[in-house]
Amino acid sequence: MEEAIPIRTAERRARQLLWHFGVGSAGGPPASFEIDGEQYVATVAGSNVWAFKLHGALPQAPAASAPSARDQPFVGPIATTAQIETASLAKDRGFTGTHYFTDEYAFAPYRTRVPAGTQVMWRNNGRMVHTIVAEDGSWSTGPLNEGDVGATTFTKPGTYIYICKEHPWAYGEIIVE
């Protein structure tokens, strides 16, 4: 008969990290499956599919550090709107054609230009909680639940970078003139 263990202890044991491997970018939900009696775990990260075999020979690898907004100059069109959404429609192309999906970690638009004194609003059109914060921590909308709107007024001209507190790899730029 197996030893009975308190639920708390069982939870702690279940949460123990056994192995980790950085796949370089945000991954999709993992899937576990079995082929010929061997168990595999697979996930999609960026444009790569990773599959790991239980008791495989690949050594552990540290997670790649999330790129900072400062390392990546902003490129692409600049919108002229004070209304930003927290999720955007994205497109990918694969073996089965072009697919559209909601990218919960991409602001739409992610670059915008507004006159000084404008109140910029973020609408959470995603399904997760997003908190919009200045990259330097100087302001925050507070946590936005699904459907919530948060705002900040920009009085001084300049370039402002913001991130999502929960998903700091999601960021955007506001140019105040």
Q: For the CB of residue 86, give the shortest distance to Cu ion in the complex, in Å.
A: 6
> Applying CB under 5 A, what is the total number of residues that bind Cu ion?
4
Query: Any idea what the Cα angle at residue 107 is, between residues 104 and 109, rounded to 5°?
Result: 140
For tokens 């595999």, the residue is 40
Q: For the CB of residue 170, give the shortest distance to Cu ion in the complex, in Å.
A: 5
Residue 12 or 127: the one with the smaller Cβ distance to Cu ion is 127
Q: Please give the Cα distance from 20 to 27 (Å, whole number).
A: 13
166 binds Cu ion (CB under 5 A): yes
Structure tokens at 75: 């490129």
Stretches 28-36, 66-74, 146-154, 157-165: which one binds Cu ion (CB under 5 A)? 157-165
Structure tokens at 162: 């913001």
Give the CB-nearest residue to Cu ion: 164
164 binds Cu ion (CB under 5 A): yes
Structure tokens at 173: 């730029």
130 binds Cu ion (CB under 5 A): yes
167 binds Cu ion (CB under 5 A): yes
- The set of residues, in sequence order, having a beta carbon less than 8 Å from that of 83 and lying 6+ positions away, is 120, 121, 123
Q: For the CB of residue 147, give the shortest distance to Cu ion in the complex, in Å.
A: 14
3-state secondary structure of 100: strand
Of 63, 25, 22, 47, which Cα lies nearest the Cα of 167? 25
Element containing residue 50 per DSSP (H, E): strand 48-53
Q: For the CB of residue 154, give the shortest distance to Cu ion in the complex, in Å.
A: 20
Q: For the CB of residue 63, give the shortest distance to Cu ion in the complex, in Å.
A: 18
148 binds Cu ion (CB under 5 A): no
Stretches 58-66, 140-148, 149-157, 165-173: which one binds Cu ion (CB under 5 A)? 165-173
132 binds Cu ion (CB under 5 A): no
Q: For the CB of residue 130, give the shortest distance to Cu ion in the complex, in Å.
A: 3
User: 117-126: buried (b, 16+ CB within 10 Å) or exposed (e) per residue?
Assistant: ebebbbbbbb
Applying CB under 5 A, the residues found at the interface with Cu ion are: 130, 164, 166-167
